[in-house]
Amino acid sequence: MRTAEGWGVASNNPDQCPKHPGTWDADELSRLRAAAAYAPRALPSATATLVARELLAAAELGWRAPDGLTARVAAELLALRAAAPPPTAPATLPPWPPRPRVRPKISG
């Protein structure tokens, strides 16, 4: 993790996992992955790709921005998902058309 002093672990951040400073805990990893999955539906195409890649990279590599930007972006994306109305479906599906009855021809 990059700090003001150089490469190292910032130990004064209360948001860090206490066992492994500088990494994400399991709940935060889930939030990052969920936000990355939702990004293509919430943002324009190129922006969504960039944001999704960055969130997945942060989750997979454990990189955490010292200013907390990654966590804030994930939280904003998940807030967009929560505020979005659910997809609408028709109240009732139209009935299937009845099958035409075909009577067999009897030769005789």
* pLDDT digits 0-9 by tens, 70-96: 989 999 999 988 887 776 766 676 777
**Cβ 11 vs Cβ 3: under 8 Å:** no
The verdict on residue 67 lying in a domain is yes
Q: Count how many residues are written for the chain.
A: 108
The verdict on residue 3 lying in a domain is no
Separation of alpha carbons 4 and 13, rounded Å: 13
The verdict on residue 107 lying in a domain is no
Residues of the chain with pLDDT under 50: 1-12, 14
Which among 63, 42, 61 is positioned nearest to 52, based on CA atoms?
Answer: 42
The verdict on residue 79 lying in a domain is yes
Domain enclosing residue 70, as ranges: 44-85
pLDDT for the residue 1:
44
pLDDT for the residue 98:
77
The verdict on residue 5 lying in a domain is no
Separation of alpha carbons 70 and 80, rounded Å: 16
Sole residue written with tokens 């967009």: 80
Q: How many folded domains does the chain comprise?
A: 1
The verdict on residue 81 lying in a domain is yes
